[in-house]
Protein backbone atom coordinates (compact mmCIF):
# COMPACT_ATOMS: atom_id res chain seq x y z
CA UNK A 1 0.00 0.00 0.00
CA UNK A 2 1.24 3.46 -0.90
CA UNK A 3 -0.62 6.57 0.25
CA UNK A 4 -0.05 10.24 -0.08
CA UNK A 5 -0.81 13.77 -1.10
CA UNK A 6 0.86 13.84 -4.50
CA UNK A 7 -0.58 17.12 -5.75
CA UNK A 8 -0.96 15.35 -9.09
CA UNK A 9 -4.05 14.77 -11.21
CA UNK A 10 -5.21 11.16 -11.70
CA UNK A 11 -4.16 11.09 -15.37
CA UNK A 12 -0.76 12.74 -14.79
CA UNK A 13 2.40 10.97 -15.90
CA UNK A 14 3.60 10.47 -12.34
CA UNK A 15 0.38 8.79 -11.21
CA UNK A 16 0.30 6.54 -14.28
CA UNK A 17 3.93 5.55 -13.72
CA UNK A 18 3.33 4.85 -10.03
CA UNK A 19 0.64 2.30 -10.91
CA UNK A 20 2.96 0.45 -13.26
CA UNK A 21 0.12 -0.83 -15.45
CA UNK A 22 -0.96 2.29 -17.36
CA UNK A 23 2.44 2.66 -19.00
CA UNK A 24 4.04 0.91 -21.93
CA UNK A 25 5.64 -1.40 -21.22
CA UNK A 26 4.10 -2.34 -17.88
CA UNK A 27 6.60 -2.49 -15.04
CA UNK A 28 7.10 -6.16 -14.18
CA UNK A 29 6.13 -6.91 -10.58
CA UNK A 30 4.85 -3.39 -9.95
CA UNK A 31 1.11 -3.09 -10.09
CA UNK A 32 -0.45 -0.61 -7.72
CA UNK A 33 -4.15 -0.03 -8.24
CA UNK A 34 -5.62 3.35 -7.36
CA UNK A 35 -8.18 2.43 -4.70
CA UNK A 36 -10.52 5.07 -6.13
CA UNK A 37 -11.09 2.72 -9.10
CA UNK A 38 -13.42 0.86 -6.69
CA UNK A 39 -15.39 3.95 -5.64
CA UNK A 40 -19.00 4.60 -6.50
CA UNK A 41 -18.78 6.59 -9.76
CA UNK A 42 -21.33 9.05 -8.35
CA UNK A 43 -19.29 9.72 -5.19
CA UNK A 44 -17.52 13.08 -4.99
CA UNK A 45 -13.83 12.45 -5.65
CA UNK A 46 -12.11 15.84 -5.39
CA UNK A 47 -9.72 15.97 -2.46
CA UNK A 48 -8.87 19.57 -3.35
CA UNK A 49 -12.33 21.13 -3.40
CA UNK A 50 -13.44 24.77 -3.51
CA UNK A 51 -16.28 23.86 -1.13
CA UNK A 52 -13.53 23.97 1.49
CA UNK A 53 -12.66 27.63 2.15
CA UNK A 54 -9.02 26.65 2.81
CA UNK A 55 -8.78 25.39 -0.78
CA UNK A 56 -11.10 27.95 -2.40
CA UNK A 57 -8.76 30.86 -1.83
CA UNK A 58 -6.23 29.52 -4.38
CA UNK A 59 -8.68 29.59 -7.31
CA UNK A 60 -7.46 26.18 -8.51
CA UNK A 61 -9.90 23.66 -10.02
CA UNK A 62 -11.43 20.87 -7.94
CA UNK A 63 -9.36 17.73 -8.40
CA UNK A 64 -8.41 14.48 -6.71
CA UNK A 65 -4.74 14.70 -5.77
CA UNK A 66 -4.61 12.45 -2.68
CA UNK A 67 -4.41 8.69 -3.16
CA UNK A 68 -4.31 5.21 -1.75
CA UNK A 69 -2.66 2.67 -4.04
CA UNK A 70 -2.85 -1.03 -3.26
CA UNK A 71 -1.35 -4.18 -4.73
CA UNK A 72 -3.41 -6.85 -6.38
CA UNK A 73 -5.55 -8.91 -3.97
CA UNK A 74 -3.95 -11.97 -2.46
CA UNK A 75 -5.33 -15.46 -1.95
CA UNK A 76 -9.04 -15.54 -1.14
CA UNK A 77 -9.27 -11.81 -1.85
CA UNK A 78 -6.96 -10.81 1.00
CA UNK A 79 -6.37 -7.06 0.77
CA UNK A 80 -9.03 -6.35 -1.86
CA UNK A 81 -10.67 -2.93 -1.72
CA UNK A 82 -14.13 -3.27 -0.19
CA UNK A 83 -14.95 0.43 -0.20
CA UNK A 84 -13.31 3.81 -0.64
CA UNK A 85 -14.51 7.29 0.22
CA UNK A 86 -13.50 10.80 1.18
CA UNK A 87 -13.32 11.85 4.83
CA UNK A 88 -12.86 15.23 6.47
CA UNK A 89 -14.88 16.82 3.69
CA UNK A 90 -16.94 19.04 5.95
CA UNK A 91 -16.19 21.38 8.82
CA UNK A 92 -16.15 20.16 12.40
CA UNK A 93 -17.97 22.95 14.16
CA UNK A 94 -16.63 25.91 12.22
CA UNK A 95 -13.16 24.50 11.51
CA UNK A 96 -12.13 22.46 8.47
CA UNK A 97 -9.71 19.62 9.34
CA UNK A 98 -7.35 20.41 6.43
CA UNK A 99 -7.19 22.06 3.04
CA UNK A 100 -7.40 18.55 1.51
CA UNK A 101 -9.98 15.87 2.22
CA UNK A 102 -8.69 12.46 3.21
CA UNK A 103 -9.12 9.23 1.27
CA UNK A 104 -10.18 6.18 3.30
CA UNK A 105 -10.16 2.64 1.93
CA UNK A 106 -11.51 -0.44 3.68
CA UNK A 107 -9.53 -3.56 2.74
CA UNK A 108 -10.62 -7.17 3.15
CA UNK A 109 -8.94 -9.19 5.83
CA UNK A 110 -9.75 -12.85 5.36
CA UNK A 111 -8.50 -14.31 8.62
CA UNK A 112 -8.60 -17.82 7.14
CA UNK A 113 -5.85 -16.76 4.73
CA UNK A 114 -3.63 -15.29 7.46
CA UNK A 115 -1.15 -17.77 9.02
Residues of the chain short of pLDDT 70, as ranges, are 110-115
Structural domain of residue 45, as residue ranges? 2-113
Q: Average per-residue pLDDT in the chain?
A: 88
**pLDDT of amino acid 63:** 95
Say how many residues make up the chain.
Answer: 115
Q: In the chain, where does DSSP find H-type helix?
A: 13-19, 53-56
CB atoms within 10 A of CB 70: 21
**pLDDT of amino acid 113:** 44
CATH number at residue 67: 3.60.10.10
pTM of the model: 0.85
Bridge partners of 81, per DSSP, are 107
How many distinct structural domains can be found in the chain?
1
Amino acid sequence: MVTGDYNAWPDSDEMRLLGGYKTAPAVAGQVLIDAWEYADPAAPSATWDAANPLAARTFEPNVRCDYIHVGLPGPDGLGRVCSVRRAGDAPVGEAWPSDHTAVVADLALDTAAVP
